Amino acid sequence: MSVTETTPLLHRALTCECLFNGDWIPGSGTVLPVIEPATGEPLMRCAMATPDDMAQACEQAAKAQPAWAALGPRERAEIFRKAAAVAQQAFAELALYVARETGGALFKGEHEVREAIVLLHQAAGLLSQPHGLVLPSAAGRLSYAKRLPHGVVGVISPFNFPLILSLRSVAPALAAGNAVVLKPDPQTPVSGGFLIARLFEAAGLPKGLLQVLPGDAPVGEALCRDPHVRMIAFTGSTDAGRKVAAVAGQSLKKVALELGGKNPLIILEDADLDQAANNAAWGAWLHQGQICMATGLILVHESIAEAFTRKLVAKARALTVGNAARGEAALGPLINARQLQRVHDIVNDSVQAGARLETGGDYDRLFYQPTVLSGVRPGMRAFKHEIFGPVAVVVSFASDEEAIELANRTEYGLAAAVISPSVGRAMAIGEQLDCGLLHINDQTVADECSNPFGGRGASGNGGSVGGPADWDEYSQWQWVTVKNVPPAYPF
């Protein structure tokens, strides 16, 4: 498809009931409807892959990869720029579909497409960076290190921000010379997979280099086990990440895990209450709280906790809930009934354990009301668990030391934030927080694509994706030495 073609970009992906290997091919699994969370209506019918489909895809990707790695960097970079141009031209179509499939507001769909365009341009830019280093060595010997692709990279992506969280691995992995096998969440197979396939198909990516196969857990396990795959990039829950690491580790694959978080926002007693409440509301309720960086604990100094909670409750009661993709509300639905029930159980269990339900705690279909829990303490489910729903959890503290202790009382270590006009004090607190992403005078949800993104502890396995981290994730070093003649060794 050319950039100027008027046929909707997603038409083929939405109508063919196929998998993608460079061509659109029938899968050997079942065909299931993809349901729009806000309406309960089917958006399309999606072919589900089987483990046999996955094995064939991985083998095809391995065969296609060497020629791609041998292609000149300018030729590779041009494909990413073309894909970005295609996305820009189809911006409105793509943004609305992403919003509908994920149950998000239209601005959230627009954000995903904008960031996808940035990720594609950044992937093109990777190819103009140095691909190695000349190292110090003895006279008469050239010593250098160069970056080599892993070969085939498997990408497993989630439902919440599927376009960004797929493409942030797919694009740099391809740029580094790898082939990619992508398994998007079957709840969002287009936003997390087939949309990306259409962009690269339109841009002229050689066939076989990108394989897109939605499927269930056995299909993901087949990807993790396949001998052609040398790296797995997984974004999702911590429990699932542990399983991915265990399976992939058996064949010594590199594994990059971007997992959950219970992200603290510390609000000191000198903070402006209106600004603090605004930040807390955005961090806790954006996209119904279905974000790994969502503000999971709002730690407020005890002297302002009551006044702050009143302001947060007022914001919750002012928010509308409905079909946000069509502009009918500020917040949309949760992704499915199972997740809604989990959110509701955490709220109810915490109230029974002594937390106060200030507002919310109710739902209609998949639409959960923005909720505020106060008086939450360690030991309650709302304190410990990542909720992944629109629930603001307010915890009071008496001193900076207690705030730090409460913030670090978690197995997670993704994002954290501190709000105070005393920037030095806030930074001193922030330096003691166990997190991969730290924000002073902001909330916890932030990512600019150019930054290394990664968590600690149960939020990840120490790696990062994005910006300067991409070369390190999606390639490996090879050391090379060159001499004019072999040396004469003593034996």
Q: Inter-axis angle of helices 400-407 and 423-430, to 10 degrees?
A: 40
Pairwise CA distance, residues 109 & 129, whole Å: 31
Helices (H), ranges, 204-262: 217-225, 238-249
Taking the C-alpha atoms of residue 54 and residue 56, their distance in angstroms, rounded to an integer, is 5
Cα dihedral across residues 69, 74, 79, 81: positive or negative: positive
Q: How far apart are CA 182 and CA 220, in angstroms?
A: 10
Q: What angle do CA 94, 96, 97 make, to 5 degrees?
A: 65
For residue 413, which of 189, 288, 221, 257 has the smallest C-alpha distance? 257
Of 100, 94, 125, the closest CA to residue 112 belongs to 94
Residue type, 109: G
**For residues 159 and 247, is the Cβ–Cβ distance under 8 A?**
no
- Residues annotated as catalytic are 258, 292
Q: Specify which residues 20 forms β-bridges with.
A: 24, 212
Backbone angles phi, psi at 76, to 5 degrees: -65, -45
